[in-house]
Chains A and B, each alone.
Chain A
Amino acid sequence: MTIQSLIGWRPVLVLSALMVTAFGAIAEGPEPTLEQRVAGLEAYLGNGDPTAALKDDKGNIPDGLTTASVGVAGPAHNAWMMVSTALVLFMTLPGLALFYGGLVRSKNVLSVLAQCLGIAGLVTILWWAVGYSLVFGKSFASPFLGGTEFLFFKDVTSAPNTDYAYWLSQNVFSMFQMTFAIITPALIVGAIAERMKFSAIMLFVGAWMFIVYFPLAHMVWGITGLMNGVWNADAGIKAIDFAGGTVVHMSSGWSALVLCMILGPRIGFGKEPMPPHSMVLCMIGTGILWVGWYGFNAGSALAADGVAANAFCTTTLATGVAAFVWAVAEYFDKGKASVLGFCSGVVAGLVTITPAAGFVTPGSAVLIGVAAGIVPWFFCTRVKKWFKYDDALDTFGVHAVGGTLGAFLTGVLATTEVNGALSTNLADLVGKTLYVEQLKAIGLTLVLSIVGTAVIALAIKALFGLRPNTEEEREGLDVTDHEEKGYIY
């Protein structure tokens, strides 16, 4: 009975819905033609603007003219980007946490996990309240900082923000970008591991997001950004950064170097052995990072389109090559290929291909992989010894060096062949002098990261202190900062 009555009612419901729609359309404005409606659907397939076919010769849309494709998210875009967002969060929790956690001594393993968790929470709050608006807003019309229109996620709904993606819900876009904002300061933890107070780290990260990350992310990815060469026709520096070579890896890596130098080395550095307490955890973390990085790089296309597919392919090639090359470098250096060598090569490859992933061919990705296996290896095993800074887990050697290398190589190897968007504003530069723009972006990122970090770190040092006392550091941060132990036998 129930089913029959439902079936009986359905045509009536549908009919009345159609009538409401039809009357509504008549009341609001002109009907789109069939061609305009098909064009809207085709825009979905091509990741293009669904309103393009509605515009007249002057580029204006007649009052009330719209189609079902306008102002809605594409199901496939949202599906892929929600998966990508989860993948990028998975990079931090637990990928990076385990990668770093395995590399410290067992008395400090929880401190690293707590720092990653603490940063995830703190940055989430900042991002919701102000961060997203400061990076991706445009009400300031400024090349350096976004705006106030999205404070506290005002108007951040399931409708797309077409400044960034025609078919992606803005609430998903904002979450995707938030996972980048989380992992970036978490990377810094590697350089200062085992010797900085939890409270000082939280203070540092809170300030660092405002002074370094939010402005830099806006400059590179914001629609009015100074260094957004691909999408901002008025960009002062016409640089490109696909998934965060400057924003994520250079900023965290160079800041990490400055912070670890202001902090000073761990007690006993260079005199006592400080081997990783679990290479197994480190390897698990590395694998999670690699898998999560598909969301980071391929997801940065903001669509499951051809650019994403290319980024997926180049990410895999560069990473596999870099892992192998790093181990080969070790083999010729010391006669043995190590698990930490393979893991370091994996991360170096991922870092170095990050700014290039959606802009270069597979062949270029292999070249980038070779460079990523050699240059960061050289910094981690040689340069660190020469200068004796205690970059505990090689955040500088891998992320700053790999990120800088990648940003430069992107300028040399980017091609319109794999990414048509490079022809819009950069046709005169790509394949020619784009690397000069990249060098300018590298310089600005360096200055902002180094100066910003130095100011924040010295201020916190003067006001609250950065380090635990000697006894606490000897005992280990797990017990002194968190009153927990990682392993109870």
Chain B
Amino acid sequence: MSLKKIEAIIKPFKLEEVKEALTEAGIEGMTVTEVKGFGRQKGHTEIYRGSEYTVDFLPKVKLEIILGASVVDKAVQAIIKAAKTGKIGDGKIFVLPVEEAIRIRTEDKGEKAI
């Protein structure tokens, strides 16, 4: 059974809903990072006493989840359902292959380790 990694970039305020949806879908762990970036969504301007600055990098949250290939579709659907607002800037999901996973405490490998 092969392992996959899901990297999802989402809007920060959607994090709680996405986490709940993934938990319901049976996903037991994830790593979350606050990140900045941009895609098609434009940044915003800030004006301080007439001085205008364009802020390109917007705050986003990145989730990293390692899981068995069989549950990838279910997890992806859960993320989409929870994170979608329909407006530009909702984010992206990437699915990548994973070579190996090891639990440090027990040295379990493969799907047993996740």
**A-to-B contact residues, CB < 8 Å:** 103, 273-276, 334, 336, 338, 340-341, 344, 380-382, 384-385, 394, 397
A382 engages B50 (CB within 8 Å): yes
Least CB distance, A395 to chain B, in whole angstroms: 12
A341→B49 contact, CB < 8 A: yes
Q: Is B46 in contact with chain A by the CB < 8 A criterion?
A: yes
- B49–A275 contact, CB under 8 A? no
Residue of A nearest to B55 (CB): A273
By the criterion CB–CB under 8 Å, are A274 and B49 in contact?
A: no
B48 at interface, CB cutoff 8 A: yes
Q: Are A344 and B49 in contact (CB under 8 A)?
A: yes
How distant is B34 from chain A, measured CB to nearest CB, in Å? Answer: 13
Closest A residue to B45 by CB, please name it: A334
Q: Identify the closest chain B residue to A343 (Cβ).
A: B49
Residues in chain A near residue B48, CB distance under 8 A = 103, 275-276, 338, 340
- By the criterion CB–CB under 8 Å, are B50 and A381 in contact? yes
Asked if B46 and A394 sit within 8 Å, CB to CB, the answer is: no
Q: How far is the CA of A381 from the CA of B48 in the complex (A)?
A: 9
Interface of B is mostly: strand
From DSSP, what is the main secondary structure of chain A's interface residues?
A: helix
B51 to chain A: which residues have CB within 8 Å? 274-275
One digit per residue, 1 when the CB lies within 8 angstroms of any chain A CB and 0 when it does not, for chain B 30-66 equals 0000000000000000111111011100000000000
How many angstroms between the C-alpha atoms of A381 and B52 in the bound complex?
Answer: 10
- Residues of A close to B53: CB separation below 8 A: 273-275
| Smallest beta-carbon distance A400→chain B, Å | 15
Q: What residue in chain B is nearest A344 (Cβ atoms)?
A: B49
A384 nearest in chain B by CB position? B50
Residues of B within 8 A of A397 (CB): 49
**A141 CA to B47 CA in the complex, in Å?**
52
The smallest C-beta distance from A105 to any residue of chain B, in angstroms, reads 12
Contact at B50–A380, with CB atoms within 8 Å? Answer: yes
Once bound together, how far apart are the Cα atoms of A394 and B47, in whole Å?
A: 14
Report the Cα distance A380→B49, complex, angstroms.
6
- Supply 16 further A-B pairs (C-beta < 8 A) apart from A275-B53, A276-B48: A273-B53, A273-B54, A273-B55, A274-B51, A275-B46, A275-B48, A275-B51, A338-B47, A340-B49, A344-B49, A380-B50, A381-B49, A382-B50, A384-B50, A385-B50, A397-B49
Contacts of A341 in B (CB 8 A): 49
B10 → A minimal CB distance (Å): 25
- A residues near B49, Cβ cutoff 8 Å: 340-341, 344, 380-381, 394, 397
